Amino acid sequence: MSRRQPRRRVWPILAALAVLGWAESASASPFAVVHPVEPPAEAPAEPEDGARAQVRTVKVRTRSDGLTASGRRIGSAQIATTPRRSAEDLLRLVPGLLIVQHGSQGKGYQFYVRGFDAVHGSDIEFKVGDVPVNEPSNVHAHGYLDLAWIIPEVVQQIDAHKGSYRLEQGNFATAASIRYDLGVPLALRGTRVGYEVGSTNRHRGVFVHAPKSRGEETFIAGEAMYDQGYGQSRRAERYSAMGQMRLWERDGYALDALGTIYSARFGVPGTIRLDEVNSGRVGFYDAYTQGREGQSQRSIASLRFVGGDAKNRVSVSLWGQGRRLRLDENYTGYVLEQTNGDRHQQRQDSAAIGFNLEYERQLHAIAALRVIGSWRGDAIDQGQDELLEGGQIWKTSRDLDILQQSFGVAPGLRITPRKWLLLDGGVRFDLFDAHVRDRLKPSAEQRFSGTLVQFSPRFTSRFTIREQWQLFAAYGRGFRTPEARAFTLPTTAPPDVDLSVFAGGKPFMTTTDTAEVGARVQPSELFDIGAQAFGVWIGRESIFDHVSGFNVELGSTQRLGIEGDIQIHPTTWLDLGVDVTAVHARFRDSGARIPGAPPLFVQLQASLNHPKGFRAGLRWFVLGPRPLSYGATAGATTVMDLSVGYRMRFAQLDLSVDNVYNTKWREGEYNFASWWDRSERRSQIPAIHYVAGPPTMLRLAASVFW
């Protein structure tokens, strides 16, 4: 049995970075919506002066961001009524986005959008305000996203931008960018205390205090949750606290602060083989392993200065965050290590600090200069220990110190040469620099480093034919940096290594060239209709392999697709919407289908907020068959979730039902080799594995307000 080598920790560096970490508030960015022409705004729930708001009162479930046909802004009314167990479930409001949980609450979700299997976030850039949440070079998955620390009651707005067309979209925005803005709207300000119980022995308490005398950006919130889960090894508990406030405001400028702290423990059920479930050896909601768990901690501090005048608008933010992650997993049984087994523990301790700048100056009545800038630095201590069945370490397979930084600057122009024409474009310059120490190598061979640069042109246009008709066209190049570990790998395969399993190669930026044309029409205040066609081309596709833990290069790819949505708002308190996404995703040389990419996704949403206090939300989706690795196919499925409630002046009662029809569905499906029953012959032939989706689950929540 090997012993772990002595190590020099990077904790002094982590501590120094954490002390320096401050940053922006997560209040709505003034740059989130195109200026000077903005899409119709929702009427405020309670205008401060008591008068009727002088705005167009078209109430829609989602609305265009004004720059592309696919961009969406989702407001607080829809967020409040959607069925949810955590802030991650709010992502189901984004048209065309499918999220899958192959662990339990607390582990990051898996994302699918526009023909991408974005794994745990490798192709979706995510921010809370201006604070980036993706974790570059995470030990579990590059770009790892974990949103369980966000208290859903304080998410005020969601901005979703598909493609890579906007100058502010940075690392991981190869398929889409999503932003949560935090706050409490005027109608819900005050103090709220709530308690939720569920059919899975779920208990959740939440507290939100948003002083009525302060603006929407100011609040303090806390959450505690315990859930036994709907199957084996799915127990979860989490504790989170968040606070945001405006520290200073004068003459159109403001200084905001945000702070969060979070801790969670959760079961790790892994996947199970479909053939063993069909034979009756394993139950549908069972797990091969018991007592395995993950741990997650996070803290964030941030400051943001924002404001402007008639000619200038600026947003400057500083942020810092600390992170700890532990995952005890085994997906393959004994297929890799026949004697000791494939159980392993991944561990990561990290700290990051960053800076963001967005500046816009009106040069002329028809032209504005825009400058985007950002810098991020990470210090990471990560490793992977191979474990015996009893939990003892028998080998350390990864032991790295990482210092990495990324820098980006993007100048651009926004021009309105005609009242009916908007042009927006520019170019991003990004630099990624990594320094890695591999403590498992001989002392003279431990250090590796590398620097990569990327140029990314971006362009969008909007043609307003009439007030109700708009046409859009956009092109952009997105990028994803390599994980820092890639710099430690050999650039060419040694002569005695099987090329089919070689995981080396020269590190490179993964880039996407994306184009989109679309239209939005609002023939009346009853309908809002949109449609777009898009294409995504990648010269060197890298797809994450869960078994090896690497992003594996698999050649050039092409994704062609169409999206459409119809939103109906027959009254000011009822919104209905349906969206459809169809994608043809292939490798260009072989014509083979891209694994994991759903070719068809249909979703229906409904939101009711009656003035008399009645509330309801509905979400129903249909997911078509999707290709898996090695030529396998995952089955189609459909699931409906529902919530109903009633709000009185000082109290509120809500009932949520997940999976109304109790569909036995496989939320995540994968195709790889495993060997769990050692009484049978070992085989490396891939087999379909799955993670069971939730059965019918009930949650009843009561809240009081004052």
Give residue-wise pLDDT tens across range 149-167: 999 999 999 999 999 999 9
With CA atoms as reference, report the closest residue to 225 among 240, 237, 242.
Answer: 237
681 Cβ contact partners less than 8 Å away, ≥ 6 residues apart: none
Amino acid at 362: Q
**What backbone phi and psi angles, to 5 degrees, belong to 13?**
-70, -40
Residue 58 to residues 47, 101, 369, 541, 573: CA-CA distances in angstroms?
A: 16, 35, 31, 42, 11
Q: Is 96 left (phi over 0), alpha (psi -120 to 50) or beta?
A: left
State the pairing for strand pair 447-466/421-438: antiparallel
In a domain, 51, yes or no: yes
Q: Residue 23's pLDDT band (boundaries 50, 70, 90)?
A: very low
With CA atoms as reference, report the closest residue to 156 among 179, 183, 131.
Answer: 183
Torsion sign (Cα): 431, 437, 443, 445: negative
Tokens of 10: 């990077």
Residue at token pair 């495993």: 674
State the pairing for strand pair 131-132/651-658: unpaired
The pLDDT of residue 280 is 93
249-254, long-range: CB within 8 Å, 24+ apart, which pairs?
A: 251/307, 252/307, 252/308, 252/309, 253/305, 253/306, 253/307, 253/308, 254/305, 254/306, 254/307
* Average of per-residue pLDDT values in the chain: 87
Residue 128 reports pLDDT greater than 90: yes
Q: Residue 332's pLDDT band (boundaries 50, 70, 90)?
A: very high
Amino acid at 387: L
Instruction: Taking residues 285-301, report their average pLDDT.
Output: 93
In a domain, 3, yes or no: no
Give the residue numbers spanning the domain of 403.
Answer: 11-705
Least confident among 76-80, 190-194, 699-703: 76-80
Name the DSSP letter for residue 674. -
* Gap between the Cα atoms of 41 and 464, Å rounded: 18
Amino acid at 296: S
**What backbone phi and psi angles, to 5 degrees, belong to 392?**
-80, 145
- Peptide bond connecting 36 to the previous residue in cis, omega within 30 degrees of 0: yes
Instruction: Taking residues 413-429, report their average pLDDT.
Output: 96
Amino acid at 157: Q
Half-sphere exposure of 576 (CA within 13 A, CB side): 6
In a domain, 587, yes or no: yes
pLDDT in tens, 229-287: 999 999 999 999 999 999 999 999 999 999 999 999 999 998 999 999 999 999 999 99
User: Contact 540/588 with Cβ under 8 angstroms?
Assistant: no
Q: How many domains does the chain have?
A: 1
Tokens of 408: 């980006």
Higher pLDDT among residues 60 and 384, named by residue: 384
The pLDDT of residue 553 is 57
State the pairing for strand pair 124-128/176-182: parallel
Local structure of 18: helix, strand or coil: helix
Residue 630 reports pLDDT greater than 90: no
Amino acid at 508: F
Instruction: Taking residues 117-144, report their average pLDDT.
Output: 94
The pLDDT of residue 66 is 77
* Gap between the Cα atoms of 655 and 653, Å rounded: 7
In a domain, 1, yes or no: no
In a domain, 240, yes or no: yes
Q: For the chain, give percent helix, strand, coil, nearest 5.
A: 5, 55, 40
pLDDT in tens, 538-594: 988 866 555 445 555 578 999 999 999 999 989 989 999 999 999 999 999 889 898
Q: Which residues of 151-179 are buried (b: 16+ CB within 10 A; e: fewer)?
A: bbbbbbbbbbbbbbbbbbbbbbbbbbbbb
Q: Residue 34's pLDDT band (boundaries 50, 70, 90)?
A: very low
Residue 401 reports pLDDT greater than 90: yes
In a domain, 110, yes or no: yes
With CA atoms as reference, report the closest residue to 688 among 637, 638, 639, 627.
Answer: 627
User: Contact 96/62 with Cβ under 8 angstroms?
Assistant: no
* Gap between the Cα atoms of 628 and 517, Å rounded: 29
pTM for the whole structure: 0.88
In a domain, 4, yes or no: no
Name the DSSP letter for residue 107. B
Residue 326 reports pLDDT greater than 60: yes
State the pairing for strand pair 393-418/367-387: antiparallel
Q: Which residues of 358-371 are buried (b: 16+ CB within 10 A; e: fewer)?
A: bbbebeeeeebbbb
Per the document, the length of the chain is 706
Amino acid at 215: G
In a domain, 333, yes or no: yes
- Burial of 357 from C-beta contacts in 10 A (0-12 / 13-18 / 19+): middle
Local structure of 302: helix, strand or coil: strand
pLDDT in tens, 337-367: 999 999 999 999 999 999 999 999 999 999 9
The pLDDT of residue 61 is 41
* Gap between the Cα atoms of 152 and 225, Å rounded: 13
CATH number of domain containing 513: 2.40.170.20
User: Contact 73/567 with Cβ under 8 angstroms?
Assistant: no
